[in-house]
Amino acid sequence: MKPETLPADANDPIITVRHMTKHFADFEALHDINLDVHRSEVLCLIGRSGSGKSTLLRCLNFLEQYDGGEVRMGGQLIGWQDGPSPRKPLPAAALRDQRKNIGMVFQQFNLWPHYTALQNVVEALLRVKKLPRAEAQARAEAALQEVNLKEKADSYPASLSGGQQQRVAIARAIAMEPKLMLFDEPTSALDPELVGEVLNVMKKMAAEGMTMVVVTHEMGFAANVADRVAFLDSGRLVACVPPAEVFGTEPADPRIRAFLQTYRERNVV
Partner 1 sequence: MFISRDWKFGTVTFSFQTIFHNLPYLIGAARWTLLISGAGMAISIFLGIFVCAARISPGRGLRRAAALYISYFRGVPLLVQLLIFYYMLPSIGLNLPAIAAAILAVGMCSAAYTAEILRGALQAIPAGQTEAAHALGIAPFWLWARILVPQALRLGMPSLINELILLVKVSSLASVVGIGELTRVAQNITGETYRPLEIYISAAAIYFVINLVISVLGRIAERRLQVG
Contact set with partner 1 (CB under 8 A)? 61, 63, 92-93, 96-100, 102-104, 106, 108-114, 123-124, 127-128, 155-159, 169, 172-173, 176, 182
Question: Residue 32 or 123: which CB sits closer to partner 1?
Answer: 123
The total of other beta-carbon atoms located within 10 Å of residue 63's CB is 17
Comparison of 121 and 229: residue with beta carbon closer to partner 1: 121
In degrees and rounded to multiples of 5, residue 149 shows phi and psi of -130, 25
CA dist 227 → 55, 175, 212 (Å): 21, 24, 10
Helix axes 133-146, 162-174, angle to 10 degrees: 130
Cβ neighbourhood burial of 157 (10 Å; 0-12, 13-18, 19+): buried
Shortest gap between Cβ of 97 and partner 1 (angstroms)? 7
For residues 222-255, one letter each, b for 16 or more C-beta atoms within 10 angstroms of the residue's C-beta and e for the rest, the string is beebbbbbbbbbebbbbbbbebeebbeeebeeeb
Q: In this complex, which beta carbon is closest to partner 1, that of residue 71 or of residue 176?
A: 176
Q: Among residues 34 and 108, whose Cβ is nearest to partner 1? A: 108
At position 127, the amino acid (one-letter code) is R
Count, residues in the chain? 269
Which is closer to partner 1, CB of 111 or CB of 226? Answer: 111
Q: Taking the complex as a whole, how short is the minimal distance between the CB of residue 120 and partner 1, in angstroms?
A: 9
CB of 61 to partner 1, least distance (A): 6
Name the minimum Å distance from CB 12 to partner 1: 24
Cβ closer to partner 1: 128 or 258? Answer: 128
Minimum CB separation from partner 1 for residue 103, in Å? 7
How far apart are CB 93 and partner 1 at their closest, in Å?
7
- Of 148, 146, 152, nearest to 118 by C-alpha is 152
